[in-house]
Amino acid sequence: MTREYKAPRGNELHCKNWRIEAIYRMLHNNLENAERPDDLVIYGGTGKAARNWDCFDAIKSSLENLEHDETLLIQSGKPVGVFKTFENSPRVLICNSNLVGNWSNWEHFNKLEAQGLMMYGQMTAGSWCYIGTQGIIQGTYETFAELAQKHFDGTLNGKFCLSGGMGGMSGAQPLSIKMAGGIGLVIEVDPKRIQRRLDAGFCDYITQDFDESMEMVKNAIAENEPMSIGLVGNCADILPDMAARGIIPDVVTDQTSAHDELNGYVPAGYYGSNLSECDDFRASDPQKYIGQSMDSMKKHCMAMVDMQKQGSVAFDYGNNLRGQAQKAGFEDAFAYPGFVLAYVRPLFCEGRGPFRWIAQSGNPEDILATDKAILEMFPDNQLLKNWIELAEEYLPWEGLPARVCWLGYGERHKFAKKMNQMVRNGEIGPIAITRDHLDSGSVASPYRETEGMQDGTDAVADWPLLNALLNCASGADMVALHNGGGVGIGLSQHSGMMVVLDGSELTDQRIERVFKSDPGTGVMRHADAGYELAIKTAKEKGVKLPMLQ
């Protein structure tokens, strides 16, 4: 059977209204942007949109026939029920990879997955909110920009930034580094992934020769020329050699799929032309494969710590490399901090995070019109102005045209209402608003978003559960609750959401509630943990916190 991965465009409806149609299109948009659409794998090695093709077809059919007051339930990629609810209730509720505490581990998950009883939803893969590499581009850019402010007088100009991974999420790194003024060298085992980023404009050059890559870096530094280079190779081979030879970057991080030692991280020695041998190894002796993968992650992390000791600014970018290395016996694995702890948490205290909107018409002009509108609404936000200008210059359209901006509490609902009014006036077509699960109040992840909480509540998962429940009560069109994400089974709990702008006055009401509730849970969570900036934000913005009145 020939599959069509392209999301529908235009005004023709496949479902009974735009609130359902947009969810339907976002499901297809996931596959249009997927790493391995034939396998339903969107990104991260194993993050899927549906459990299998039978389930995918049943989800499609269910959405096509869903009534305006019904809710479709998805259990780890399988449609399991349709129930009569209310017109203002969510149209789709999704739970992926959730396991009871004692059983929340890869071993038990893998057994269930092998039996066809579960799938890994990653973050935006299983909630149908993935919009391609651009989805985390601003967050990655913001992180490198904040790093530059903290360590390099506000710019990465002339700075050598080293990282690993150029997949569905990590592919944002080369362009983000370049946009922040730096010279990025990103190592990736699969040359097809680098070529895909090259073709899309996220990367400037590809090479399979380390010496050539270093010559390019050297020349770019000398000419102070922002640049991104993809090097075909394996981090577990290249980084230890660099550290031993004293080739030390200004910045070192990583975004390989280190959360998954079997299906994600590729052991040392495998890259490029011998990746098929790696696949055979994985299938023939998975336990030995895992052993080599864990040992490689240990070497990779040790090299990053070595570089840090020799002067690099090192930080973790949320893939659990440190946790895996520690598990493999490297006691000093957490010598460098996670990116949220180091650079992002103040933004979370203000309810600020990755707000995304997607043009359901498929017309890029709709996004350009919203770019103009957001700049008119927030004329004093210079960071936002800079970002929109950079995005329009550098970012390619991937799938349905989309934009992402980090907006805070008090900004999201105002802009969403403006866009809904534009839909109502016929200035643009319907819009789906979503976000990364990595947001101010939607995740508990001790090795990433909630690392080092000042009250010690890193592992408290009540907060993303409350976020999901509140988004349901507020009228979001889709709400998802996942276990795992980029750090792996048992190591995080997170929630996602979607609101569809169809131009109706009823949607205005839902906007007012959802886009205060959703970021408001982030202000609440951080204020409860004692962060003064979050407490100040809550008081200034009128977020009602009973224990802090």
What's the one-letter identity of residue 93?
L
Name the CA radius of gyration of the chain, rounded. Answer: 22
Work out the angle at residue 43's Cα, subtended by the Cα atoms of residues 119 and 390, and round it to the nearest 5 degrees.
Answer: 145
Residue 94 and residue 111 in contact, taking contact as beta carbons nearer than 8 Å: no
Q: Is residue 82 within 8 Å of 59, Cβ to Cβ?
A: no
- Segments of 143-292 assigned E as strands: 160-164, 183-188, 205-207, 227-232, 251-252
DSSP run (H or E) holding 535: helix 532-541
* Cα end-to-end distance, the chain, whole Å: 60
What would the two tokens of residue 425 be? 């006036």
Count other C-beta atoms under 10 Å from residue 495's C-beta.
Answer: 30
Rounded-to-integer distance, Cα 204 and Cα 182, Å? 13
**Rounded Cα–Cα distance for residues 391 and 58 (Å):** 37
- Alpha carbons 308 and 301: distance in angstroms, whole number: 11
Give the separation between CA 376 and CA 483, rounded to whole angstroms. Answer: 39
Query: How many angstroms separate the CA atoms of 393 and 449, rounded?
Result: 30
Question: What sign does the dihedral 424-428-429-430 (CA atoms) show?
Answer: negative
- Residues with Cβ within 8 Å of 244's Cβ and at least 6 positions away in sequence, in order, are none
Q: How far apart are CA 205 and CA 166, in angstroms?
A: 13
**Tokens representing residue 126 in the block:** 């299983």
Told to judge if 15 belongs to the known catalytic residues of this protein, a careful annotator would answer no
CA–CA separation, 64 vs 70, rounded Å?
12
Q: What angle do helix axes 412-424 and 505-528 make, rounded to 10 degrees?
A: 170
- Given the residues 15, 203, 405, 472, the one annotated as active site: 405
Q: Which residue in the block uniquely carries the two structure tokens 């090299």?
A: 303
d(CA 395, CA 33): 15
Q: What angle do CA 495, 498, 503 make, to 5 degrees?
A: 160
CB 94 within 8 A of CB 70: no
Measured from the Cβ of residue 268, the count of other Cβ atoms closer than 10 Å reads 18
450 closest CA partner among 492, 490, 486, 489: 492
Would you say 94 and 481 are in contact if contact means Cβ atoms under 8 Å apart? Answer: yes
Phi, psi values for residue 92, rounded to 5°: -140, 135
Strand, helix or coil for residue 360: coil
Catalytic annotation, residues: 405
